[in-house]
């Protein structure tokens, strides 16, 4: 039995993350066979337990992540928990206790290999806290002498002296690194990573088989059959505007600009083409849920435009979202 721990999973409500995880696990089962045990570390374990049900995947809540109303308290408490986990793992590894006596606070000792599927978490673009949170499972695996893989990711950039040294130390000791684009390889060269097992690949989500929710498929087929209209999918992001408009520093003003951009885009599409617009959410994570911004866009359209716009409001699984995208003539 090969025991595989997947880190960087975040939440199944982030469709990109869930697509990568399902496709990777399917690939592993094809390559290794049924004799594998897979667990994922999740930021939303109660939700993921339901959304991954029936797939023979163990869901474990992120043991070093604590949440309080105060951001400072959250960071301090999570840091202490993380240090406790580090000490506890090293102590138990030194004592060589049998793995059946190990709880979730020492879960890394149970597994044969750690595969990180963080997508783009190993970057300083989102701040030092998120980078350290993403790097911790790899650093702990390294200290425990567990093989770890950084799989199909977008890596970098690393701006500070500390992060460049830390990430070079980790990357040089990875069993395998696969990257989704050439720019990530350049970032590794920039920090002088010497690991020879670095390869360019495609995003695993390409391997995920789509499924087609009948209520959406039937509705769009009916539109095509009776209204003879093509379908244009649009995804507006609750997250991306924070990183847009570099000359604007106020987040609310950035959001207003982004909203106007998306509303104007949809109005233009409807004016110039005989189409239906489908608003498809990519992320549904609380705080970064695309569906509320879709509703705001929808309400800013006039009555005639609203008749030609369909917001996807249900939290479909990632394979269903891929199916919905596949029903579009253009995304």
74: in domain: no
pLDDT of residue 63: 76
Asked which of 179, 206, 233 is the last residue of a domain, the reply is: 206
Assess whether 224 and 301 both reside in one domain: yes
Answer positive or negative: Cα dihedral of 267, 315, 70, 104. Answer: negative
144: in domain: yes
Tally of domains within the chain = 2
Picking from 227, 234, 230, the residue whose alpha carbon sits closest to that of residue 329 is 230
Peptide bond into 240 cis (omega under 30): no
pTM of the predicted model over 0.85: no
Length of the chain: 331
pLDDT of residue 98: 62
Task: Output the furthest CA–CA distance in the chain (Å, rounded).
Answer: 71
Q: Is 313 exposed, middle or buried (0-12, 13-18, 19+ CB in 10 A)?
A: exposed
187: in domain: yes
CB distance 184 to 155 below 8 Å:
yes
pLDDT of residue 35: 84
Assess whether 277 and 129 both reside in one domain: no
pLDDT of residue 90: 73
Assess whether 261 and 304 both reside in one domain: yes
pLDDT of residue 105: 60
pLDDT of residue 102: 59
pLDDT of residue 207: 92
75: in domain: no
96: in domain: no
3-state class (DSSP) for residue 37: strand
Assess whether 120 and 169 both reside in one domain: yes
* Structure confidence by residue, pLDDT tens digits, 215-255: 888 888 887 777 788 999 999 998 889 888 999 999 999 99
- Going through 129-185 in order, the beta strands assigned E by DSSP cover 148-153, 176-179
86: in domain: no
**Structural domain that includes position 218:** 214-326
* Structure confidence by residue, pLDDT tens digits, 126-154: 888 888 888 888 988 888 889 999 999 99
Spell out the residues 6+ positions from residue 228 whose beta carbon is closer than 8 angstroms to its own: 274
pLDDT of residue 132: 85
Q: Which residues of the chain have pLDDT under 50?
A: none
């Amino acid at each position: 039995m090969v025991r595989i721990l997947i880190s960087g999973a975040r939440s199944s409500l982030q469709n990109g993350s869930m697509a990568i995880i399902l496709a990777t696990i399917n690939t592993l089962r094809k390559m290794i066979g049924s004799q594998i045990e897979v667990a994922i570390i999740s930021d939303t374990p109660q939700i993921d337990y339901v959304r991954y049900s029936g797939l023979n995947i163990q869901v474990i809540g992120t043991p070093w992540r604590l949440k309080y109303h105060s951001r400072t308290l959250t960071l301090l408490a999570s840091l202490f928990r993380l240090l406790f986990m580090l000490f506890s793992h090293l102590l138990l590894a030194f004592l060589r206790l049998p793995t059946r006596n190990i709880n979730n606070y020492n879960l890394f000792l149970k597994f044969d290999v750690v595969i990180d599927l963080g997508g783009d978490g190993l970057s300083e673009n989102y701040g030092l806290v998120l980078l350290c949170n993403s790097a911790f499972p790899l650093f702990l695996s390294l200290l425990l002498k567990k093989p770890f893989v950084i799989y199909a990711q977008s890596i970098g950039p690393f701006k500070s002296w500390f992060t460049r040294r830390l990430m070079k130390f980790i990357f040089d000791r990875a069993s395998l690194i696969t990257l989704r684009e050439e720019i990530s390889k350049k970032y590794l060269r920039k920090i002088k990573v010497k690991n020879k097992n670095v390869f360019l690949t495609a995003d695993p989500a390409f391997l995920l088989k789509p499924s087609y929710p009948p209520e959406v498929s039937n509705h769009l087929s009916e539109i095509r059959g009776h209204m003879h209209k093509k379908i244009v999918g649009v995804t507006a992001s609750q997250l991306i505007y924070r990183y847009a408009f570099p000359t604007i520093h106020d987040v609310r003003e950035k959001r207003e600009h982004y909203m106007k951009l998306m509303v104007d885009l949809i109005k233009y599409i409807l004016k110039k083409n005989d189409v239906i617009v489908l608003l498809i959410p990519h992320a549904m994570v609380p705080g970064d849920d695309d569906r509320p911004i879709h509703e705001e866009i929808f309400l800013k359209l006039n009555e005639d435009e609203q008749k030609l716009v369909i917001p996807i409001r249900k939290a479909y699984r990632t394979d269903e979202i891929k199916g919905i995208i596949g029903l579009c003539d253009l995304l």
